[in-house]
Structure 1
């Protein structure tokens, strides 16, 4: 059975395609440096225009380690276009600004002013979290309990949208879920690695300890998350929960400037965007607890998929633990054998440098027996003489003459043009016709069939597209005869044809 691929949303695809943040080979860090400038200098009173970015970039952010040259306005414009239009990490707005002239005076002009978006801020922060992930991603039962408590809290009917508490709780639940799943994936990978290592190194005590940890902590924690599946699905498939969360974001304690000035258009855009975000997150959570095969194959964080791999690791640990328990070593007998060996270790002969041998090339009774390697001798090879043949111009084939005979299709085309075509683009069939080629006669028959169509895409006599075919109802039946044939083809009427 094939495995479905995890789908890639278009906004995420656009961001990944623009992940080089500028797509400029001469300035590979330009996008990142622009985000840094906008994030760091965004609180300045001076508007951040293209001129400001160019001067600031060339003065402070050139990559001296790679001998980066100063960036030009045109190149920076292309980088800013990728950041704004494709990656959606910055925004550009036309605004009136006060610009200082060379003589020190100010004048008002209209210019594009750039600012970093919330997505851009998260991108800058996220990169540092990626570097620290090895230390920050852990699997612990307290975080799982926090996630379950938040799911229970949000699933209650008496949720209030007066303030941002509901939105904050939803954000904390999503954050806890992401932390839990990251930790579970890490636990999954670590268990597979440890189980394989223990299976080869025969660590019975470690296998028992890991098995106990998985059974006593990991599996109960998974069961806790699975029990929240009905609540997650109720929120995901409900009609009002996403509306409540989006409305809560704009509660009484919201510090967004749009709420202060009552910018209804911006508030509505923010509401719809938040609602879509909530629906996407709930769909992701609902897919992770869906036990169907299609959901397991298409979900990035399917609980059942991770749980299955952990169970397989537990099975390996159990087999190894049982294998170690089933083995018994007679320590006294082993000690006696070692003592006996040590009494004559000086008489043992160990070859430090065995000669080359290939037992499969020798005529021996048992080619798999390598104990005779010291007496077999090396393999000898006999070189063979080969003659290299060099091709010359005399070996080239003769070039055929460029002479083409008129084919039957060319003859049919010529006859069609003679009997049917009146101009280069217009042809008429309004009287009986006698043909010498069957190909020309057959094309006329097919063209009459086009009188019953309004689209002529399928009709192209001799490869030429047709624009229109019109029947002539006053001509009466038209006979088409081809030489050397005793029958005639009768058309109900004549027709005209116009070519493109």
Structure 2
């Protein structure tokens, strides 16, 4: 692969311009072919030419990239043209050399790189050098301020490209200044906090002096340019003058040389919009409102606040270091005096804590006399522990034997609650002789809360329906030889 180092390669693999899975560097390589292949300048940039150049010079040997096909390259070119606008395609008549050596004229799509593609191709490698190129210095701020003042001149010359170049340089200078100030803000935040925790008094003092003597004056001058930027943004003629300046007498634009008025008009309109948008961005950066500060990542006031916060933090650290400065000789003399007389030093005994609630005092909230109060006197009570024995266990009652005479219980059930062979009714208090009959009647009442009766079968006979009789009131069921009765909330009737 031609002219690409490992860092740039990794960056391009991360972006994958062209979105090709098998050829992630295809988009970049196509732009390189269209931009820099001057050895064959007389050959039209057709699809076949790009495929041939790609497969000969631009295959990635580190990943054993296979040769690219026409179909894949068409898809990549489609992304570059329709979505990124890095490439333009137009049908042109070209001369094709035949096998006989003669040339044949035919029409084919020819590709060319756009200004946007050129800017992308030259901008991406600069990202790798950002650690060296992004810097904060007062000279660049001074250059920016001079350009702003120059553009605010009442007499601007739009007959040549100098005005357009000055505006472009002003925007570029502001971009460099803000990138440098962002870096300064990030570095300050890290360094100032580190100094505060490590108590670097001398370093904090030097850094604080640099910020106060250099950074703040330069930033103050930068803020003062806000009104001048607003004047340019409000001017009705400035953007038009800058746009016309691009087509000045020293321009090398092809469309101007051939007097292509259609493209020149479109270009002037586009340049005018570009100037207005850039001025709007700059104006927003200088607006002190909360909404403008939140919406602009290059807000001058946000970065200015970062510098002020760092200065305050460094100043506090510097004051903290100086407030801790002691006279070593005086401290040593005091320590020597203590060591000489340490045997005669008497430490006061700690005043014991007393609770006024434990003593007979007139005011329980007044503890000022705690030192003279006597100790608390408690009277010990004699306690005896009683040990339980077997004799202390309660008497165990014997269980009553329940006689289960099913035939007798069934007869009593039929006699007391059955109306006929299939229907029964309970609407009065009952005195029963058998416990089993009493229990079956109780179970039948619980069926009044259900709408299915599969679980209810007194004496083995399934129930079809059970209905409560609310008007009867509570019903009492008593069985002989028992000292208690069972109460049902109401009566009921049932059907087998």
User: What residue is the counterpart of 1:303 in the other structure?
Assistant: 300
Deviations 1:176-205 (A, max 9, x none): 111111111111111111101101211101
User: What residue is the counterpart of 1:327 in the other structure?
Assistant: 324
SS at match of 1:66: coil
TM-score (norm 1): 0.62
Give the Cα separation in 2 of the matches to 1:274 and 1:281: 11
Give the Cα separation in 1 of the matches to 2:247 and 2:239: 13
Give the Cα separation in 1 of the matches to 2:266 and 2:101: 42
SS at match of 2:92: strand
The alpha carbon displacement at 1:137 in A equals 1.3
User: What residue is the counterpart of 1:88 in the other structure?
Assistant: 85
Give the Cα separation in 1 of the matches to 2:25 and 2:52: 16
RMSD: 2.0
SS at match of 1:23: coil
Q: Would the alpha carbon gap of residues 179 and 334 (structure 1) be closer, same or farther in structure 2, given more than 3 Å must change?
A: farther
Moved more, 226-235 or 324-333: 324-333
SS at match of 1:65: coil
Give the Cα separation in 2 of the matches to 1:182 and 1:301: 8
SS at match of 1:64: coil
The alpha carbon displacement at 1:67 in A equals 1.4
Give the Cα separation in 1 of the matches to 2:246 and 2:273: 13
> Which of 131, 147, 166 is the equivalent residue of 2:144?
147
Give the Cα separation in 2 of the matches to 1:25 and 1:148: 47
Aligned pairs (5 A) from 1:211-290: 211-290=208-287
Q: How many residue pairs end up in the alignment?
A: 321
User: What residue is the counterpart of 2:72 in the other structure?
Assistant: 75
Q: Would the alpha carbon gap of residues 203 and 93 (structure 1) be closer, same or farther in structure 2, given more than 3 Å must change?
A: same
Give the Cα separation in 2 of the matches to 1:210 and 1:250: 48
User: What residue is the counterpart of 1:26 in the other structure?
Assistant: 22
Give the Cα separation in 1 of the matches to 2:328 and 2:97: 92
Give the Cα separation in 1 of the matches to 2:147 and 2:37: 37
Give the Cα separation in 1 of the matches to 2:297 and 2:15: 21
Q: State yes or no: 1:168 paired with 2:162.
A: no
Q: Would the alpha carbon gap of residues 326 and 69 (structure 1) be closer, same or farther in structure 2, given more than 3 Å must change?
A: same
> Which of 40, 59, 63 is the equivalent residue of 1:62?
59
Give the Cα separation in 2 of the matches to 1:188 and 1:78: 43
Give the Cα separation in 1 of the matches to 2:121 and 2:321: 51
Q: State yes or no: 1:41 paired with 2:41.
A: no
Give the Cα separation in 2 of the matches to 1:238 and 1:305: 27
Deviations 1:152-177 (A, max 9, x none): 11011111111111111111111111
- Structure 2, unaligned runs of 5 or more: 1-11, 336-496
The alpha carbon displacement at 1:39 in A equals 1.1
Determine which structure has greater relative contact order: mean sequence separation of CA pairs < 8 Å that are 6+ residues apart, divided by chain length: 1
User: What residue is the counterpart of 2:476 in the other structure?
Assistant: none
The alpha carbon displacement at 1:136 in A equals 1.2
Give the Cα separation in 2 of the matches to 1:128 and 1:176: 19
TM-score (norm 2): 0.63
Deviations 1:119-143 (A, max 9, x none): 1111111111111111111111111
Give the Cα separation in 1 of the matches to 2:102 and 2:157: 55
Q: Would the alpha carbon gap of residues 334 and 70 (structure 1) be closer, same or farther in structure 2, given more than 3 Å must change?
A: farther
Give the Cα separation in 1 of the matches to 2:64 and 2:332: 68
User: What residue is the counterpart of 1:177 in the other structure?
Assistant: 174
SS at match of 1:108: strand
Q: Which has more radius of gyration?
A: 2
User: What residue is the counterpart of 1:480 in the other structure?
Assistant: none
Deviations 1:220-262 (A, max 9, x none): 1111111111110111122111000000110111110111111
SS at match of 1:196: helix
Q: Would the alpha carbon gap of residues 306 and 89 (structure 1) be closer, same or farther in structure 2, given more than 3 Å must change?
A: same
User: What residue is the counterpart of 1:114 in the other structure?
Assistant: 111
Give the Cα separation in 2 of the matches to 1:50 and 1:41: 14
Give the Cα separation in 1 of the matches to 2:83 and 2:251: 29
Q: Would the alpha carbon gap of residues 335 and 176 (structure 1) be closer, same or farther in structure 2, given more than 3 Å must change?
A: farther
The alpha carbon displacement at 1:336 in A equals 13
The alpha carbon displacement at 1:335 in A equals 13
Give the Cα separation in 2 of the matches to 1:297 and 1:334: 56
The alpha carbon displacement at 1:71 in A equals 0.8
The alpha carbon displacement at 1:102 in A equals 2.9
SS at match of 1:99: strand
Give the Cα separation in 1 of the matches to 2:121 and 2:151: 30
Runs of 4+ in structure 1 deviating by more than 2 angstroms, as ranges, are 101-105, 328-337
Q: State yes or no: 1:209 paired with 2:206.
A: yes
SS at match of 2:62: helix
The alpha carbon displacement at 1:104 in A equals 2.6
Give the Cα separation in 1 of the matches to 2:311 and 2:318: 10
Give the Cα separation in 1 of the matches to 2:126 and 2:20: 25
Deviations 1:272-319 (A, max 9, x none): 111111111101110100111111000120000111111111111111
Deviations 1:467-499 (A, max 9, x none): xxxxxxxxxxxxxxxxxxxxxxxxxxxxxxxxx
Deviations 1:45-70 (A, max 9, x none): 11111000101101111111011111
